[in-house]
Amino acid sequence: MKLLDSLRVNMKKFCWATACSGVALAASFFLAQGAYAQALPSSGQSTASASAVEAGQAVDRIVAIINSDVVTLRELDQRVDMVQHRLTEQGAPIPPHAQLQSQVLDQMLLERMQLQQASDDGIVVTPQTVQDTLQRLAATNHMTLDVYRSRIAAEGVPWEVFTQDAKNELILGKVREREVDSKIFVSDAEVANYIATHRGPGASALNDLDMQHILIAVPANASTADLAAAQEKALQIIKQAGDGSDFAKLAKQYSQDTDAAKGGDLGFRSPDALPAGFADAAAKLRPGEVSPEPIRSDKGIEIVRLVDRRAARTGAASDVVKITQTHVRHILLRVGEGGSEEQIRQKLIDIAAQIEKGGDFAQFARTYSQDGSAQSGGDLGWINPGETVPEFERVMDQLKDGQMSPPVRTEFGYHLIQVLARRTTEATVAQQEDAARQAIGSRKAAQAYSDWLRELHDSSYIQYKPGFGPA
């Protein structure tokens, strides 16, 4: 089967909120979870059993109990250190230690709840799957696994910790798919309504919206009391704004989002590019007004202000949807068909070097590529957004016309990718429907996931040891 045909089949299986992006390990390795976990006999005996464990544990301390599991101070300190290290690397502000420690602990407890649910569901990840994931991460970063391992160690992350984190992330993805994403349903009526509102007739008359916001962060596993406190704080800020306080200054003072420093300004965006609920709130506002009611989002409680409206610049006079297509070709070498992963990757590097010296890409594709497109010189034709697996599309979208990629690892093997040209064309009805279904499903899944985490939290036994409760 031609690679593109295989990818099209796979991409029809929407993964909603995960956006078919796989596991975001490369971005989250600094949140690696320690391999140590002291199990308790049963959740019904958590307090007594934890005391017994704690009494026999002279070096480490238990900082929190979560059902039949515990989080130790060593684990917590290790995670906090890694988060601080990454924030420093990114030049991001580091919260006060007590606040950061509390946030990291809550995140660890949330992970443990989900891992326990995965265990109850019988979800397992094989060592080979973990190894394949690590190989893919290394390849994505253009390194061998040994070099990648050294790089992780240089970042202060023990390899066994990183490996355990990779396994946990894979499990968390599986449990979310089972408990949430697989239960999301988008009706044809919802798709038709979405297209009529955002993409279909009248789209050119829609307004782009310039909005500001203030985020009161609330964890997905927040208790009813925490939510109520955040709501009350939001109402107090709304009152200050109504009394004449400058919204941008309020955002800088109170907002816990990354855009707080610029007054929470989101700039002009189309309604469907805004977080859920923002456009609905803006529909009731005049420019300069603040919504009197806070909005619940997947990040917490939001306060929004409409700055201005303008005619949408994306709508064409004919009210058709335009998409960018990419003309691309590739050379694919499959893993497990003659040589190790590193040998296959090195072979592609050698082929790329010969092409850079003037070799014919198409001829190399006919000679070496192990894909059905080989007979046409690796040419995949014009590809629409979303028609390839994420790793392939992500690299393809970053290439300039005529540019060739380094070896790219996907589930099919290693690719050399070359973009030949791009063009803008009118989307078909089916493409519009697919895009609408994906957008609706993603929003539904994000809300459903947040609700599921809250229910999981409310049904879990949690005990914080003195000095380690919520900040």
Domain ranges for the chain, please list them: 22-183+459-464, 207-314, 322-426
439 vs 70: which has the higher pLDDT: 70
pLDDT tens by residue, 86-113: 788 777 778 888 888 988 999 899 999 9
pLDDT tens by residue, 309-324: 876 654 444 445 678 8
- Residue type for 410, please? T
338 vs 218: which has the higher pLDDT: 218
- Residue type for 114, please? Q
**pLDDT score at 435:** 78
323 vs 366: which has the higher pLDDT: 366
Measured CA to CA, the distance from residue 334 to residue 413 in angstroms comes to 4
For residue 315, report the phi and psi dihedrals to the nearest 5 degrees: -80, 130
* Joined tokens for residue 381: 């034709």
Which residues fall within 8 angstroms of residue 328, CB to CB, at 6 or more apart? 380, 383, 396, 417, 418, 419, 420
Q: Across residues 281-299, what is the average pLDDT?
A: 88
The reply to whether 22-183+459-464 and 207-314 are identical in fold is: no
Tell the burial category of 284 from Cβ atoms under 10 Å away from its Cβ (0-12, 13-18, 19+): exposed
pLDDT tens by residue, 125-135: 999 999 888 88
Of 158, 303, 298, the residue nearest 240 (C-alpha): 303
**pLDDT score at 439:** 81
Residue 448 has pLDDT above 50, yes or no: yes
Query: For the ranges 190-199, 267-276, 452-461, which has the lowest average pLDDT?
Result: 190-199
**pLDDT score at 178:** 94
Distance from chain centroid for Cα 164: 19
Q: Tokens 């070896």, residue?
A: 407
**Assigned CATH for 22-183+459-464:** 1.10.4030.10
Measured CA to CA, the distance from residue 99 to residue 207 in angstroms comes to 40
40 vs 60: which has the higher pLDDT: 60
CATH topology of domain 207-314: Chitinase A; domain 3 (3.10.50)
16: left (phi over 0), alpha (psi -120 to 50) or beta: left
Measured CA to CA, the distance from residue 378 to residue 201 in angstroms comes to 39
47 vs 270: which has the higher pLDDT: 270
CB 138 within 8 A of CB 148: yes
Which residues fall within 8 angstroms of residue 165, CB to CB, at 6 or more apart? 25, 28, 29, 31, 32, 33
- Tell me the chain's radius of gyration from C-alpha atoms: 25
State the pLDDT confidence band at 37, using cuts at 50, 70 and 90: very low
- Residue type for 304, please? V
State the pLDDT confidence band at 350, using cuts at 50, 70 and 90: very high
Which residues fall within 8 angstroms of residue 404, CB to CB, at 6 or more apart? 352, 355, 356, 361, 416, 417, 418
**Architecture of the domain whose range is 322-426:** Roll (3.10)
Residue 179 has pLDDT above 90, yes or no: yes
Measured CA to CA, the distance from residue 66 to residue 172 in angstroms comes to 17
Residue 331 has pLDDT above 80, yes or no: yes
Residue 40 has pLDDT above 50, yes or no: no
Q: Across residues 404-420, what is the average pLDDT?
A: 91
Helix (H) or strand (E) holding 98: helix 97-120
**pLDDT score at 59:** 58
65 vs 203: which has the higher pLDDT: 65
Tell the burial category of 54 from Cβ atoms under 10 Å away from its Cβ (0-12, 13-18, 19+): middle
Average pLDDT over the chain, rounded to whole?
80
Of 420, 419, 413, the residue nearest 369 (C-alpha): 413
State percent of the chain over pLDDT 70: 82
Measured CA to CA, the distance from residue 196 to residue 203 in angstroms comes to 8
From first CA to last CA, the distance across the chain in angstroms is 55
* Joined tokens for residue 65: 């109990």
Q: Tokens 């109504």, residue?
A: 242
State percent of the chain over pLDDT 90: 39
State the pLDDT confidence band at 276, using cuts at 50, 70 and 90: confident
CB 178 within 8 A of CB 121: yes
Helix (H) or strand (E) holding 463: strand 462-464
Which residues fall within 8 angstroms of residue 171, CB to CB, at 6 or more apart? 114, 115, 118, 123, 124, 125
CB 124 within 8 A of CB 168: no
